[in-house]
Structure 1
Amino acid sequence: MQLRLGLTLVLSALSLVGCSKLSINNGSLDYIKKTTSHEPLKYPEGAMVRPETPLYPSPVVDPLAIENAPTYENQRGNRFELPRPNVTQSNTQLSETATVEVGRPQLLTDGNGNPLIKVEGNSDTIWQYTTATLSSLNLNVVAKGKNSPEVTIKVDGQNYVLKLSTTGSTNTLAVFDAKNNFADKQKAAELLTQIYQNWPA
């Protein structure tokens, strides 16, 4: 009894594995090779029929395009096999270098005269440069933002928040007070000038 059950299980497992390994025809190419076109429905003369427009009309394909179309067959030509994608190393290298490139910082002021630092490039890299600059300046960091690129700094007994905001590839560093208003222009200018002068890139 156990021998029969074991033999049945082995044969069924081999048949399942064999179908894919031995490339037995499973009919997966029938749609491509045996598809035929049909004429549209014809109604009897005099029949009252509402005009119809097909929801998905069949496109007219150039015969030359059909001849040069890729074949999705296995080596034996009896099963559908999707080709594996070609992985190009050059694209990944280009994307990595594109994300690392960071422009030189620029000291600017907005329309209200608040000092800012504008930097073009990847925001993550720019924030790493900013934190490295703050570390080199030995500024007293009180707190770091959990979900946003911001850090609270204590200068002359007062807390200031340095925030990085991003619009496309343009990044702006600005200094705010504890109430989330722009900090005193002179204090903000001093802090941003120190960051600008000690920028690592």
Structure 2
Amino acid sequence: MQLRFGFIAALSVLSLAGCSSLAINNGSLDYKDAATLAPPQYPEGSVVRPATPLYPAPSVDPLATANAPKLENARGNRFAMPRPEAMQASSNTVQDSTQIGRPQPVVDGNQNPLLKIDGNSATIWQYTLATLSSLNYSIVGQSKNRYEATIKVDQQIYVLRLTSVGSSNNLAVFNADNSFADQEKAADLLAQIYQNWPA
């Protein structure tokens, strides 16, 4: 009775352990020994449609095969993916959410001048308002739900609008009717903001 129970227990342990822990060859590395087959040969005089392979096998340089990563277990008889490497946290890669870059004068596809600024939109907008204040431009109105301010420059009303694309932001000058402002006047205003930028 005890011998039968011991045999059943050992058989259960082996079946629960599975083949993977025993590292039995399961044929998962047979692709390394695959041979290139010649295209099929048809008897002379037979009518055969031209056959093109759906997934043609690429020709691989032997040097590339020799230097390929070893995707196998420790015994070398089963396919196994390598374990991911632990990530190292670097303090240099983590940026402060309030850190912003220096403005860069650019133009869009229609040659309208813009200021491109990388960083947090809220911080950039605060810097923009501070720059307008240092230039003594009066802010007539400001939008509550987006980064937009109406300013008065030389008795002319302009709208400054900050739009974000990913981590980059563009500051543009518009007329009151939402059309782009005159390119020379917009370039002059953006140049003043660029020169007096506090960051």
Give 1:200 shift. 2.4
More helix by share: 1
- What is the match of residue 77 of structure 2? 78
Cα distance change, pair 45–67 in 1 and its aligned pair in 2 (3 A): same
- What is the match of residue 4 of structure 2? none
> What is the identity, as a one-letter code, of the residue corresponding to 1:41?
P
Aligned residues: 176
Q: Secondary structure at the match of 2:144?
A: strand
1:151 corresponds to which of 145, 148, 152:
148
Cα distance change, pair 106–78 in 1 and its aligned pair in 2 (3 A): closer
Aligned-CA RMSD value: 5.2
2:115 corresponds to which of 109, 112, 119:
119
- What is the match of residue 50 of structure 1? 49
Give 1:73 shift. 0.4
Give 1:93 shift. 4.9
TM-score by length of 2: 0.54
Q: Which runs of 5+ in 1 are unaligned?
A: 1-6
Give 1:24 shift. 2.7
Cα distance change, pair 46–191 in 1 and its aligned pair in 2 (3 A): closer
Equivalent-residue separation in structure 1 for 2:191 and 2:61 (angstroms): 66
Give me the identity figure in percent: 39
On the 8 A contact 2:117/2:124 being kept in 1, the answer is: no
Q: Which runs of 5+ in 2 are unaligned?
A: 1-7
1:164 corresponds to which of 162, 165, 190:
162
Equivalent-residue separation in structure 1 for 2:161 and 2:194 (angstroms): 15
- What is the match of residue 5 of structure 2? none
TM-score by length of 1: 0.54
1:148-192 residue CA offsets vs partner (Å, 9 max, x unmatched):
xx324477xxx9642135799783421442x3245799x989986
On the 8 A contact 1:103/1:119 being kept in 2, the answer is: no
2:127 corresponds to which of 115, 132, 138:
132
Q: Secondary structure at the match of 1:162?
A: strand
Equivalent-residue separation in structure 1 for 2:65 and 2:105 (angstroms): 57
Equivalent-residue separation in structure 2 for 1:59 and 1:107 (angstroms): 45
- What is the match of residue 4 of structure 1? none
Q: Secondary structure at the match of 1:40?
A: coil
Equivalent-residue separation in structure 2 for 1:197 and 1:40 (angstroms): 71
Give 1:17 shift. 5.7
